[in-house]
Chains A and B, each alone.
Chain A
Amino acid sequence: MDLTFSQTEIAFRDELRTWFAENDAGVEPDGDEDRQYAWRRDFQRRLADGGWAAVHWPREYGGRGATLTESAIFFEELGRSGAPLPANVLGLLLAGPTIMTWGTDEQKERYLAPILTAEEIWCQGFSEPDAGSDLASLKTRAVQDGDEWVITGQKVWTSAAQYSKWCMLVARTDSEAPKHKGLTYFLMDMEQDGVQIRPLRQITGEPEFNELFLDGARIPNENVLGGTGNGWKVALTTLMNERAGLGFFLQVRLRQLLDRVIDEAAREGLLEDPVIADRLGELHLRTEIVRLTAYRGLTAIEKYGQPGPEGSLTKWMWSDTNQRLTQLVVDLLGPRALRADDPWAYELLRARGNSIEGGTTEVLKNIVAERVLGLPKSR
């Protein structure tokens, strides 16, 4: 058992820290999301120039062939530095690895490089109004027409759709087949008339996500990824990648938020109150549990090729802790934390989405119960 980083890992981390110190992202621009997105996109270009945009990608595709631990270190350091998540995070974490696993040589040649530089942004077309937790029941149709597929349907929860060139689209190509088998994974061009984007406003007031209305959108045959009818398997590759590296970024952000709260509470003399000291100590405990358990999960994958129970537990624990933290802040700071323009108010509201996005806590509990604990499927 060794909870320290190896010499190689420390060297990697130090090189990265130096790069961040020399390449300050600056302050997030205020107000409009277009400016914020442009800031993130520009920072990703700088990461790409430095060779840091996708450490976990193989060197042949522009990455550093980083180990899982190095990948975790990258996301921790990114979080620590105050730099933004790369604008093309879905391309880097989802589309890229999925194309590397299932793509033809031509597809890899065509799509991977522009992901790194954020030249071509990717979004995800999976969930639908009637297909959230039950993703396999999705209804968006793809019908063959000569060399092309014609798409009709609707997608929801698509972030960055308005900036995206490409969409990882899962659609039904065979309605006769059992629901998991009639799906195909496409790489869809977002810049066409058949694709309409409508912003979807969240409780935070912001439209971080969008709806996609697909009516006669066209996809050439060579943009099928992984073969017709194989969409579910390809989608699983995407879903499995969804949380790996991002988890370490989110953990560090949680830690930073907590440190800000503790710092503020200490300065305002609030820690004299034993109840507050108790609640903050408990949050510190939960935050450390998320970090330690994530490291255990990393070890399990590196040693045994697959996560142990930790894999399913960390997202659940992280979202629960973030919600408790943002709620505690309101109790600590009083009504000022509920002012419409207060950043803590935004965090409070945004945190409600954490236990829903990327797999609801209820579904995660089902997965733990069925796949980790071996309990019979629930009715």
Chain B
Amino acid sequence: MDFDLSRDQREIKDVARELLTARSPFAKVREAAETAAYDPALWGELVELGWPGIAVAEEHGGQGLGVVELSVLAEELGYACAATPFLSTATAAAVIQATGTDEQRARWLPGLATGELTAGIGTRELAADAAGAAIVVVIDGDEAQLIESPETDLFVSIDPTRRFATIVKGEEQPLGPGAVDRIRTTIAAEVVGVCQRALDMTLAYVKERKQFGVPVGSFQAVSHRCAEMLLATESARSTAYYAAWAAGADPQLLGEAAALASAAAAEGGRSVTASAIQMHGGIGFTWEADVHWLFKRAQLDTALLGGAKRHHAALTRHAVAKLQQGVAG
């Protein structure tokens, strides 16, 4: 039993954190948001590092790593709240790698892995990075559909660090079983990063900010709320990485694992980022303080995940099924 990142995975995480701290600080995020445009230089750098193809086989031009590594990158990009098409492109690529036909893989993976092509991801009514994408991978009930050259309508959301669209039409091809779970697993990993950043910003603030002669972080109303933010973040982390592990090591567990990860992230993302605004006091409510980017990202991620309640219902079904099969608890 080793429920921890490996040394190599930790290294990927550290490198990503360092890179994004330098190349995508909040000043850059704000710039991308206010101009409603991604920074091509940043995306170019991620492409050069091979990140979009992290979970694509080497034979298709990818890095040949797995869903855990993909989750690590998604988490770090979530931590930075970076404005790039990484989540959609890398997740679509990973999903096609794992559940696509040989034809779908051969057709799309090389372009996605090298960043020549980008992909969208989401549902028909809310698809991230769908406009102008070569393909969109769409959650359709329990199945995922691969839509080529989709016709889209712009959807301007409250999260200007990411492009959204609705899918009007496009030719659809189904992807294999487990595709939807894999999409949600990676979104959940991004949420872990968003939560961690919200927590870290909050801790820095409440240690510095003084009122009544003391740091506000010394008041239990504040420190206890921070403890609750940690609990929600670590809950999302435990489930997101469990699902990422299951995707590669034991896909039979993935259905339930993805539901756990989705529910924890959908709930945790919104509550942690809301707490972050609150713990920043008046400043938290300003555009300039940057806390709101995380709140907005979390809101859209929860919408992409379909909300927590859908997954609670799924979890009850999983629990009942396990009991009926006499599977040990």
Contact = CB atoms under 8 A, between A and B. Distances in A.
Given A282-B263, A285-B312, A313-B230, A375 B206 contact: yes
A289 B312 CA distance: 13
Contacts of A2: 1-3, 245, 249
Given A2-B249, A296-B4, A376 B218 contact: yes
Contacts, number: 171
A44 to B, nearest CB: 24
A277 B316 CA distance: 6
Interface residues of B, number: 52
Given A80-B329, A255-B329, A375-B218, A262 B234 contact: no
Nearest to B206: A375
A80 B328 contact: yes
Given A262-B320, A281-B313, A285-B315, A9 B223 contact: no
B186 interface: no
B286 interface: no
Given A3-B249, A281-B313, A378 B1 contact: no
B239 A289 contact: yes
B4 A299 contact: yes
Nearest to B233: A309
Interface in B271-329: 308-309, 311-316, 318-320, 323, 328-329
A313 B203 CA distance: 18
B230 A372 contact: yes
Contacts of B263: 281-282, 285
Contact of A374 (B203, B231, B239): B203
B72 to A, nearest CB: 10
B220 interface: yes
A284 B238 contact: no
B264 interface: yes
Given A313-B230, A369-B223, A377-B218, A293 B1 contact: no
Contacts of A259: 319, 323, 329
A280 interface: yes
A1 B4 contact: yes
B224 interface: yes
Contacts of A279: 312
A365 B319 CA distance: 31
A369 B227 contact: yes
A370 B218 CA distance: 9
A266 B223 contact: no
Contacts of A377: 218
A288 interface: yes
Nearest to A289: B235
A309 to B, nearest CB: 6
A263 B235 CA distance: 26
B207 interface: yes
17 contacts: A3-B249, A277-B312, A281-B315, A284-B315, A285-B239, A289-B239, A289-B264, A292-B3, A292-B242, A295-B1, A296-B3, A300-B4, A309-B230, A365-B220, A373-B226, A376-B207, A378-B219
Interface of A: 1-6, 9, 69, 80, 252, 255-256, 258-259, 262-263, 266, 271, 274, 277-282, 284-285, 288-289, 292-293, 295-296, 298-300, 303, 309-310, 313, 316-317, 362, 364-366, 368-370, 372-379
Interface of B: 1-6, 9, 68, 203, 206-207, 214-215, 217-220, 222-224, 226-228, 230-231, 234-235, 238-239, 241-242, 245-246, 249-250, 260, 263-264, 308-309, 311-316, 318-320, 323, 328-329
Given A281-B312, A309-B234, A362-B224, 8 more contacts: A259-B329, A266-B323, A281-B313, A281-B314, A285-B315, A289-B238, A313-B230, A369-B227
